[in-house]
Structure 1
Amino acid sequence: KIVVKFGGSNLKTAADVRRSAAVAAAYGRPLAIVVSAFSGVTDSLVRSLEDAISSLEAIDECIARLRAMHEEVLYSHVAAGTERNQVSALLSFRLVSLDKLLRGVHYIGAVPDFVRDAVLSYGERLSSPVVAAVLRDAGLDVAEALPEDIGLVTDGRFGNASADLGRCRPLIAAALGAERSFVVPGFYGIGDDGKTTVFGRGGSDYTAAVLARCLDAESLDLWKDVDGFLSCDPRVAPDSRTIPRLSYAEAAELSYFGAKVLHPRTVEPLEDDGIPIRVMNVERFGGTIEPFSIVGPTVPGETFSPGSSARKGSNAHAVKSIASSDDAAIVRLEGPGVGSRPGILARATGRLDAAGVNILSVITAQTCINLLFRRADVARALAALKAETVPGVLSTEALEDLAIVAAVGDGIRDSRGAAASVLGAVADAGINVVLSQAGASPVAIYLIVRSDERERAVRAIHDAI
């Protein structure tokens, strides 16, 4: 089988859903189809959790809004009759379950982690039966298959779960192996205790990758609303170019550092088996299946993709693409010898782990330890690190309003002068680099700059490649 994934950007309107059905039909073969929530629904569910604590009326409004949105798509494409009635009844059943969860939040005045994950999964639980019905109306032999019914088992971690691939593989292969198509809601799986656990925002890509691994798929086809991976964000540099071929490592680093083409963990289940990821643009669908970018095993000796970028300098070929994000902050631990005294870094990271705070990167020097975080994690990180005095640490401070700029390309670590070229391009643009890291990844160099200088830094590097 081929695993096909349609994201929320492909599911904004009734016409979008019909177009996705046309895409699925164009394959002319059984598929495993993973769907995200309809556009905007997950954000709406996040707000509903916040509003439910203080307002029962907000819960009623949320349920009514979701019902209207999904029934509009269903009624637009599925004629009155048994099929429409059955799917409408299923939507009602799932909305009742969601309503009960939200009312529970109201009555206890809090949002337990297991309830949050369960509520957030309803975007996909509501979109999948509607998409399946539209596909059937288009003539496809397709059934809905829920993660809890096919054996998508997770480690039970709320908010950022991982699939247990060893246990999932035989179960999913048996459940989805029949010669027909299946629609699977993405974003969530089920822990050993039966509770819903989500894979993090954008996690439907990860669901699709898990299915591709378990089915030994020919490829994972991601339908997006962009022309695959680009040399940088076209809103920053209008002359950005499509990258036709990337390694798994390149795709993972670009996604990790801000490229919103796929979830950063999508490559994890696929790399060992060499299953390619093909990125398509649904806006350009003309009846044939044509990928803009293919992510797969590195070709021996290949350090850049032909046509992916014009080589302007001696090291320019090492940089294939630039990703960036304003979502960065640094917590700095300072004191004489903190970088060389045994145990200080271990104690700091241990506290952060206990607090559930993810560290993006660590850079140490003799008198300073720099810890890189997402902005939303800074307050919790500071609280954890200041909970008790660490001998040798004289000050702990946060640096915010920062951005990450990452230059990515196979061979960049071993390409003589590549880091100097990247730093030189930024320096020539008059931009100060707060922090830089080269060598930690074989395919990435990243810089930390002020947020208001991020776009200029990206353009400067892009112009140099």
Structure 2
Amino acid sequence: MQVLKFGGTSVGSAKAIEQVCLILQKHKPAGRYAIVVSALGGVTDMLIRCGQQAEKGQESYKEILQEIENRHLDTIRQLFPITAQSSQISQLKKKLNALETLCDGIYQVAELSTRSLDKIMSYGELLSCVIVAEKLKVLGFNATCKDSRELIVTDSNFGHAAVNFPTTNHNIAQYFAQQAADYVVLPGFVAASADGETTTLGRGGSDYTAAIIAAAVNASVLDIWTDVSGMMTADPRIVSQAIPISHISYVEAMELSHFGAKVIYPPTIQPVMNKRIPIWIKNTFAPEDHGTLIQDNTDKSYPVTGISGIQNIALLTLEGSGMVGIPGFSKRLFEALLHERINVILITQSSSEHSITVGIHEAEMLKAKSAVDSEFAQEILERRIAPLIVEKDLCIVAVVGDNMKNHHGTSGRLFGTLGRNGVNVRAIAQGSTEKNISAVINKADLRKALNLMHETFFEAPLKQVNLFIAGVGNVGGKLLEQLEQQQQYLQQELGLQIRVIALANSKHCVFNPTGISLSEWRQQLATGSRMSTSEFVTEIKSLNLRNSVFVDNTASEEVAATYHEFLQHGISVVTCNKIACSSDYSYYKKLKDLARKYNASFLFETNVGAGLPVINTLNDLVRSGDKVHSIEAVLSGSLNFVFNHFVNGASFKEVVKAAQDEGYTEPDPRIDLSGKDVMRKILILARESGAAIEMDEITNHSFLPAECLDAPSVADFYDTLDTFSNHFQDLRIAADKEGKRLKFVARYENGKASVGLQSIAPSHPFYQLEGKDNIVLYTTTRYKDQPLIVKGAGAGADVTASGIFADIIRSAR
């Protein structure tokens, strides 16, 4: 014999019920079937509201009754020919009249007891059961309907009755032994007490009904038909990459269902597990899908079977020196909670016996606080223990797997992944069987944590990286092109799936938690919302996505001032914006410290030398114990371009204008020509070499006359270049006479830094520097006689974008 249970969505409409009948027609092998059905989807909630409104004296309960009647009438009219409808409608009216009489009585006395509520809720299953059974008869099935209240006997704990299994098993076995029908349809969820009062079996009660019947008749299999294709490795509403679990053990299924996997409920598993009856979870609307088979342990090569979480958890901590070495405190704590019928979800205790912590549902925390403080009032008064500490806004995440005990490092991978992404663990529980590792975390981190855990245990080698990009001009645009171009390579060769979640320019911003199309980002950004830096930052933090990286392609002081907010939330920062690292040393140091503290990357390779490995090379030297004696560099591709073209009688003004037209300078060329940009770069290199130096300590030997720098506009600035053309020509002529070339050089040595225009001799490495190239010479203890040289293109959107791209990959790995 086989037992099949169909949930509320499976019988939620006439079309769904027809699908159920089709499944039964195709079900093989042939044999006898017990078919357990839930109420039509949503009807149980309507019945509860009906009773509650009647209790409050609100006549709107009658409108709900009418809605319930219409729902069932519509289903009957769609399922049956007109000739078969009258008897169905008559049965429906009879039951609904009884329900209305019950609700009228509640309305009159203004009281809804748990007994009355059970009776009200039972009507959903009682109505659907008759409809399904009659539909099977019309289709030619040898079917009948049996009221489960005549078989399943419980105590009188209304709302969540406990089953009397000896009597129930006898009733079920006797009934099916005498029943000739091949298909017996029974209402789930409902039962009756020994004195015949209607009771219900609690959450997941219809599944439980099916399991009770399957165990009593020693069924060959229990099929649970629902609207999903089996149990998933995680809740697909939270983890989009969740996949179906094809096989799972009874214990694993119970653990996952206890921790929130709602496909099946823990009580369902126990009766059939004792009889070793397999449970097959199938999808009514995709019956060809494999689903999930729950049975005895099977050999598995992977440690974790699934992950899950429980929201709205509160932690209760009882602590005090008076507990140490004194027996009975735990007993009294749990008895106090028991008296208030408070379920304990998680327990952890320090080995010093100084404290014990339990997790409960947040809704019960005030009741728990009152009960426990009352129980330990004397000890609290004597200050031997502290009043109960209550923490809320928490949740529990858990990894489940029979095979975790055979794989070393599972817990290490779990907690390492959470820690690297700024998810703080408040409490931990792990049984000695190592089938479950549970952690209590902040409720706001649930989505991030579950996605991280799923990525760690189920999605290797792909790692999802979420980017938030500010600045989509020349550099930002090139970066997006490169990201689109390299998507396939990153996934196949590096195991990285990079998604752009947000984009912003000075006017607009756009967010898409599932990823912005890299081929249509311009259109999406153009229709985005108004850009506000503070709101942009707040939204990024509120999304709280795993492996998040903020990318700053701007030159904005306002944006640079937000880096600390990201880092202290475990969000990595990649930037080509030099302002933060060249601001006050205290802020620079704060950012570096936050990155270390919160396991976030703070990478700014493109601050100096665009895509050249200038900073990484310096970092490698310092980290390996080398000592930097001096740094000498040409760090402005713009200035190098200008002075490389300031030859053969060309005017300085013409060369600067050409550099601006080529995009080698800022819109205001004075930003480059003043040397301030180079000062920032040598400052950053000095700091990265270990110096606590400030910007005002750097000497700037400016070659621009003050009148040029102080010109009121860019146009006026160009006019001053004409005015001082002889000044610039004199600089070039003097260098030519000595056979030298003009280069704007930055230097750091003996704790001092300076920048300025210099005449470079042919023997110097800087002499041959062409175009917009940069060059850096590191003289160190190891590279004392021959400096370490880093040389190459130091300006341009492409190379800068590639440097940012490299930092993004570095942060992800």
Query: Same fold per TM (> 0.5)?
Result: yes
Aligned counterpart in structure 1 of residue 363 of structure 2, from 376, 386, 394: 376
CA distance in 2 between partners of 1:120 and 1:441 (Å): 40
1:236 aligns with 2:228: no
1:225 aligns with 2:192: no
Q: Distance in 2 between matches of 1:339 and 1:159?
A: 40
Q: Output one character per residue of 1:336-391: Cα deviation in whole Å (capped at 9) or x when no partner.
A: 24365322222222222222222222222233222211233333323332344252
Shift in CA distance, 382/118, structure 1 to aligned 2, threshold 3 Å: farther
After superposition, the Cα gap between the structure-2 partners of 1:188 and 1:411, relative to the gap in structure 1 and judged at 3 Å, is same
1:240-269 alpha-carbon deviations (Å, 9 max, x no partner): 222111000000010010111111211110
Counterpart in the other structure of 1:165: 165
Unaligned runs of 5+ in 1: 305-316
1:385 to 372, 388, 400: 372
Q: Does structure 1 conserve the Cα–Cα contact (< 8 Å) formed by 2:149 and 2:190?
A: no
CA-CA distance at 1:121 after TM superposition: 1.7
Q: Report what 2:292 is aligned to.
A: 293
Please, which of 245, 261, 269 is the counterpart of residue 259 of structure 1?
A: 261
1:104 paired with 2:111, answer: no
Cα distance in structure 1, aligned partners of 2:200 and 2:219: 23
Give 1:311's aligned residue. none
1:187/1:359 Cα in 2 relative to 1: closer, same or farther (>3 Å)? same
Larger Rg: 2
**Are residue 364 (structure 1) and residue 349 (structure 2) matched?**
yes
The structural deviation recorded for 1:413 is 4.1
Q: Tell me the SS of whatever aligns to 2:156.
A: coil
Q: Which position in structure 2 is the counterpart of 1:313?
A: none
Which residue is 2:319 aligned to?
Answer: 334
Q: Deviations over 1:274-325 (max 9, x none)?
A: 0000011112135xxx6411001113xx245xxxxxxxxxxxx211111113
Q: Return the alpha-carbon distance in structure 1 between the equivalents of residues 436 and 333 of structure 2.
A: 26
The one-letter code sitting in structure 1 at the alignment partner of 2:187 is P
Moved more, 381-390 or 8-17: 381-390
Per-residue CA deviations over 1:102-139 (Å, capped at 9, x if unaligned) read 22322332222211222222221121111212222222
Report if aligned partners of 2:7, 2:226 keep a CA contact under 8 Å in 1.
Answer: yes
Cα displacement (A) at 1:162: 2.7
SS at structure 2 position matched to 1:39:
coil
In terms of mean alpha carbon deviation, does 200-209 or 332-341 score higher?
332-341
1:232 Cα deviation from its structure 2 partner: 1.4
Change (3 A) 1:376 1:47: farther
Distance 1:104 1:442, change over 3 A: farther
In structure 2, the partner of 1:429 is 421
Any idea what SS the aligned residue of 2:397 has?
A: strand
Bigger Cα displacement from structure 2, 388-397 vs 161-170: 388-397
- Quick check: 1:18 aligned with 2:18? yes
State the alpha-carbon separation in 2 of the partners of residues 450 and 203 from structure 1.
31
- RCO higher in structure (CA 8 A, sep ≥6): 1
| Residue identity opposite 2:41 in structure 1 | S
Q: Is the 8 A contact 2:49 2:61 kept in 1?
A: no
Q: Does residue 137 of structure 1 match 2:138? A: yes
Tell me the distance in 1 between the aligned counterparts of 2:443 and 2:209: 32
Partner SS, residue 8 of structure 1:
coil
CA contact (8 A) 1:258 1:325 kept: yes
- Mean alpha-carbon deviation: is it higher for 378-387 or for 10-19? 378-387
173-182 vs 71-80, which deviates more? 173-182
1:148 partner amino acid: R
Indicate the SS of the match to 2:441.
strand
Is 2:50–2:65's contact at 8 Å kept on the other side of the alignment? no
SS at match of 1:266: helix
1:318 is matched with 303
Paired residue type of 2:213: L
Q: Distance in 2 between matches of 1:261 and 1:233?
A: 10
Partners of 1:339 and 1:9 in 2: how far apart? 53
Secondary structure, aligned partner of 1:4 = strand
Q: Percent identical across equivalent pairs? A: 29
Q: C-alpha distance in 2, partners of 1:442/1:99?
A: 52
Q: How big is the shift at 1:6?
A: 0.6
SS at match of 2:237: coil
Change (3 A) 1:5 1:368: same
Counterpart pick for 1:31 among 24, 33, 36: 33
Partner of 2:710: none
Match in the other structure for 1:154: 154
Conserved 8 A contact 1:155-1:192: yes
- SS state of the match for residue 343, structure 2? coil
User: 2:347·2:429 contact (CA, 8 Å) conserved in 1?
Assistant: no
1:407 to 390, 394, 399: 399
Give the CA deviation at 1:56.
5.2
Contact 1:3/1:217 (CA < 8 Å) preserved in 2? yes
* Structure 2 counterpart of 1:11, one-letter code: V
1:86 aligned residue: 87
Maintained 8 Å contact 1:407/1:446:
yes
Question: How far did 1:327 drift?
Answer: 3.5
User: What is the deviation of 1:100?
Assistant: 2.6
How many residue pairs end up in the alignment? 446
In 1, distance between residues paired with 2:378 and 2:125? 45
How far off its partner does 1:163 sit? 2.0
Q: Compared with structure 1, are the counterparts of its residues 223 and 80 closer, same or farther at alpha carbon in structure 2 (3 Å cutoff)?
A: same
Residue number in structure 1 paired with 2:330: 345
Structure 1 range deviating more: 246-255 or 396-405: 396-405
1-structure distance, mates of 2:76, 2:198: 26
- Counterpart of 1:238, as a letter, is S
> Equivalents in 2 of 1:449, 1:173: separation in Å?
47
Distance, in Å, in 2 between the alignment partners of 1:164 and 1:330 is 35
Please list every run of 5 or more consecutive structure 2 residues that lacks an aligned counterpart in the other structure: 458-813
| Post-superposition CA distance 1:193-220 (Å, at most 9, x none) | 2222211122111111001001110100
Contact 1:59 1:103 in 2 (8 A): no
Distance, in Å, in 2 between the alignment partners of 1:434 and 1:390 is: 29
- Number of the residue aligned with 2:60: 58
TM-score of the two chains, using structure 1 as the length reference: 0.91
SS of residue paired to 2:184: strand
8 A contact 1:38–1:127 mirrored in 2: yes
In structure 1, the partner of 2:185 is 183
Pairing of 1:194-209 with structure 2 (within 5 A): 194-209=196-211
Amino acid across the alignment from 2:441? V
**Equivalent residues of 1:413, 1:444 under 8 A apart:** no
Match for residue 451 of structure 1? 443
1:215, 1:303 → 2: CA distance? 31
Q: Equivalent residue for 1:250?
A: 252
Cα root mean square deviation, aligned: 1.9
1:52-79 deviation per Cα after TM superposition (whole angstroms, max 9, x unaligned) = 1123522311221111111111111111
SS class of match (1:220): strand
Partner of 1:309: none
* 1:303/1:164 CA distance change after superposition, 3 Å: farther
CA distance in 1, matches of 2:67, 2:136: 23
What is the distance in 2 between the residues matched to 1:376 and 1:40? 24
Report the counterpart of residue 307 of structure 1 in structure 2: none
Q: Is the 2:51–2:106 Cα contact (8 Å) retained in structure 1?
A: yes
**Mean Cα deviation higher: 338-347 or 26-35:** 338-347
Q: Which amino acid aligns with 1:383?
A: S
Using the size of structure 2 for normalisation, the TM-score is 0.53
| Alignment-derived partner of residue 123 in structure 1 | 124
- State the SS of the aligned residue for 2:454: helix
